[in-house]
Structures are given as structure tokens and as C-alpha cells.
Amino acid sequence: MHRLQELKGHIESREARLGVMGLGYVGLPLALEFARAGFRVTGFELDGKKVETLEAGESYIGDVPAEAVREVTRSGVLSATVDMGELAACDVIHVCVPTPLTKTRDPDVSHIAAALESIRKRLRSGQLVILGSTTYPGTTHELFVPMLESTGLRVGVDFSVAFAPERIDPANKQFALREVPKVVGGETPLCTELAAAMYETIFDRVVQVSSSQSAEMVKLLENTFRAINIGLANEVALMCDRLDLDVWEVIDAAATKPYGFMKFLPGPGLGGHCIPVDPTYLAWKMRSLNFPARFIELATEINGHMPQHVADRVADILNDDRIAVNGARILVLGAAYKSDVADVRESPALEVIRLLAGKGGEIRYHDPHVHELDVEGRTYKSVDLSDDVLQSSDLVVILTDHSAVDTARVVERAPRIFDTRNATRGIPGSGDKVRRL
């Protein structure tokens, strides 16, 4: 117990050495904030190219400017390595590795397990291990604790374990990382106390919950709430399509109510690492307890159908002008899952391209943030958004509303547009040329 209580003093004095496993969209911003707060931080990465990029003072993530990287790497407070042996020197280890789904849409905790094995081999008394990767309730308690206690050390006595879910929203300029409250739940009260002390050094507010399982559930609730409400917005869009109504007008009018309504927007499907994945983690866990997560399953079905709906609408729009999808020149605007990011994980654009290419469409795409795309073994390269590309396309499909794209020019030059994001709203000259979701 003495070593753990001593750790709190080292955290408060900034003497504790920190490790961050996984330097992606979550881990790198976290490592930078701790380095700026005065800690010595080591980032652990399996991708040697990322390590080289950081050591050169450059960034590979849009939300992290190269100047911020250079500031902490040149001063020596942040370093990156592929050598997991250095974990032994870290007093606090943050695990920020991917948690995707398998092909059968079951949780894939292989990255967590690999990180955990690296930690287990080097675990020593006095260390604090914090999992930040989104996962199903019980992962920390059922996987982390037994594996680490297999060393003979005891959680809450010799070492500490906590769960603190990430709340990163890529490209969000409204909230800085430190402004979003940090939720923390430990295996014991002391574990929670130490993890909270750690995060209080960089977050304006830390919210402590009673257990790691509660903290895991908090994260899943947040993104399940979003997935279900987006599913509702998508179903309303399908209803409005049948009723020949403008779903965007309906939603905007409903959003004028000052209470009891929260605005969610429809789109071509869900994308990113969190919203399409996290509810599935929760549903998987509940199935193991013989409890059907009906809201999640319904929302997943509706959201998963949207790429097919988009492909069907494309066929209808072309058919109205006696153009077959087979052989049609279709330009997809946006491959990333959301505006102003380069992340294509779970992006609905991938499925839309697959479906349209499967119907014989000649697919081109433009995305200022995604320069190359692989869809079912075929490589696509982003084309320049030239007048010739726009004018020679039979149809332009807007799947991502990047701010760098001159949508007014697209409306002016393209012969037909299908807008799934309402990006063309209010642009003069759209008229009958633009069809919306």
C-alpha cells in the first residue's frame, strides 16, 4: 500500500513517469497533454513509421499540429518507441489501443490482450495501469485484473487498475481535450483515487464512478445513445422519402422546440471507430447474459441499411434520366466517415462505393483528406475536383461534407447531385439539379 500512496505524491509533483500505449487519435493527444503538464512521457507504438514521424517532429493526425509535437519532442519530455521493455520504467501506463469488431461482429480484444501481456511481463509494485480503449462492461475486471494478478502482485495493494473511457471527437473545434470531463472508475477506491489524481493534472473536471464496470458502461451508453438517435433520424428520413417530404426541413423545425428534443441528423450510414462499434460491444455482452438489446439491434439494422438506400437512390436518380448505373460515371465526394477528418474506419462511403461498383458504375472519388482508398482489393486514388471531372460525371454523390470542398462550385458544374448531408442547402442554382436524402 505504501508504494501506491507514494505514487500519488509523485503524480502531484509531476515526478511520475508516464507511458501511453497506442499513439493514434486517442493516445497521441493524451500523451501531448501530459507532456505539456510537465510529465516525462513515453509513447509506445507497434508502427515504427509513426515513431519515426514523431521523432522527426511531425504529426500524422489532423487534430495534432506538428508544432505541438516538436515542442515536446525537442524538449525531451515526450519520446516514442517500439521497445516495450521501457514499460518497466513507467509509473503509470495508459492503454489506448484499437478495439474493433471481428468479421462476425464480435468484440476483438486482441489488441488489448497483446498490450496487457506486454505490461504483465514487466509489472512491478507501485504501478498504475489505466485502460482507455472502449470495450464491453467487465473487461477491466475480468481480463485485466486476473492477468496482472497472475504475476503474484495484488490489485489495490501492490498495483492499481482503472478504466477511464476516451471522449475524443476528431475535428471538434468547440471543445478542447481538457474541457471534456474525464470519467474514471477503479478496481478499488484507492485505484480510483490514483487515476483521478492522474487526470486532474490535465482535465478541468474528473468524474469518479464506483467501479471500472460503471465507467465502461458510461462510455457505451454515450455512444449507444447517439447511434439509436441517429437511427431514428435515418428512419425518419426513409419515412419522409416515402411521404415526399423534406426531412431536413422537418428536423430543423422540430429543433426549434426549446425543450424535449435533441437534434440528430440522418446520413448515408454510420462511420468511425465509436458509434458503429460501441453499441455492438454492449449488445454482445448482454447476449451472453440472455438479455436482448432490442433498441441497439433495431438501430444497427436501420443504420446499416443506409448505404443500400443511398445506392438505390442513385439508381433511381440516374434512371429518371434514362441512364443505367452500369457504365455511369459516378463521382463520390468524401470517403472519410465525417467532415474534416482523414479517418475511413467503418465509413459508409466504402459500402456505397462497393455497391455502386458492383452494379457496374465507373466510380471516382474526391476527398481532400483521404488520398487513397482500398475497397474489396481495388485501390482508388482521389481525383482532382476539376471542372472536367465534375462536368463529365453523370452523378455526384455527396457522402461527406468537408469544409475544404467548394460545394457551390460543385452545384454549378455538375449535371446531377445526390446530397446525403444537406451540404447544398441554400446554394443558389441547385433547383432540380440536386436531390437530397
* Cβ contact 127:148 at 8 Å: no
d(CA 96, CA 98): 7
Question: In the chain, what is the straight-line distance between the N-terminal and C-terminal CA atoms, in Å?
Answer: 59
Catalytic residues, by residue number, are 274
> Residue 41 contacts by C-beta under 8 Å, 6 or more apart in sequence?
17, 18, 19, 20, 31, 34, 35, 72, 77, 78, 79
d(CA 201, CA 94): 14
Q: Three cell numbers at 179?
A: 474541457
Which residue is associated with the grid cell 439494422? 301
d(CA 197, CA 51): 29
As a 3-state breakdown, the chain gives helix, strand, coil percent values, each rounded to 5, of 40, 15, 45
**CA proximity to 159, closest of 137, 186, 131, 191:** 191
Q: Three cell numbers at 130?
A: 489505466
